[in-house]
Amino acid sequence: MKDALGSVGSVLVLGGASQIGVAIASSLAAPRNATVVLAGRHDHSLADAAAALERAGAGRVVTVHFDAADFASHDRVIESAADAAGGDLDVIVVAFGVLGDQQADEAGGDGAVRVATVNYVGAVSAGLAAARQLRRQGHGCIVALSSVAGERVRRANFIYGSSKAGMDGFFQGLSDSLAGSGGSVLIVRPGFVRGRMTEGMRPAPLSTTPEAVAEATVRALRDARAVVWVPGPLRAVMAVMRHLPRALWRRVPG
């Protein structure tokens, strides 16, 4: 149960090995030793993340198997996570996602469909299951990790970008649907995050870190915001970018 000053009792991370997801869980759980449930596909990376969370001060860390593409299991995973947390999930972080390989995926194979399936369809399915949990408990917040890449989709990464655009739009609508239910949604739109997912890539301007995203997310949760950009100035930058002529926008490098 969240308290008057925003301290939480439990956090669920869907995509439990995600660096940003774990950083958010860590910032939320550490001050009061809250319970964290990590839901993900790979037991060994979940175990590593769990160990890191315990070192950071989380009270109890539980792991549960979760596959974003196994839609039928989503309700069950969230209910079992709630049971493991002792009843309620105060914050549910939707942190899973894959980047894909734009060039290779354009050339063929099932990579593009996988990106769309995990990042968009998986988010729709898990997002709705999470919302049902918030309605059952009459409170709680979904943190949806979107991306600046979805704000205006670019030539250089339009498969990933469009999946995030769809996901972002879905959570905007879900947020409105939860009005009056006690539940809410916070959409987080980070820019280029220097981390495991982007290893070997050249950082874009206004790049950020998982820790900075976590800090901004915790603050936005406390202030009951609906959307947060990380870093903050990206919001203004993207407001301009949205209106660049297509001929120019097409050439923005990846």
Which residue in the set 42, 76, 196, 250 belongs to the binding site for another protein (CB under 8 A)?
76
In this structure, what DSSP letter does residue 193 have? B
> ω into residue 233 within 30 of 0, thus cis?
no
Amino acid (1-letter code) at residue 156:
A
Which residue in the set 132, 136, 155, 225 belongs to the binding site for another protein (CB under 8 A)?
136
- Please state the length of the chain: 254
Catalytic residue among 66, 96, 120, 160: 160
Handedness of CA 110, 113, 119, 122 (dihedral sign): negative
Ranges within 143-202 binding another protein (CB under 8 A): 180-182
Interface with another protein (CB under 8 A), residue total 41
Alpha-carbon torsion, ordered 234, 237, 238, 239, to 10 deg: 120
Instruction: Supply the Cα-derived Rg of the chain in whole angstroms.
Output: 17
Ranges within 20-59 binding another protein (CB under 8 A): 31-33, 47, 50-51, 54, 58-59
As a whole number of angstroms, the distance between CA 113 and CA 230 comes to: 28
**Residue whose CB is less far from another protein, 6 or 254:** 6
Q: Does 80 sit near another protein (CB under 8 A)?
A: yes
The residues that are catalytic are 160
Q: What residues make contact with another protein under the rule CB under 8 A?
A: 1-7, 9, 31-33, 47, 50-51, 54, 58-65, 76, 79-80, 83-84, 86-88, 135-139, 180-182, 223-224
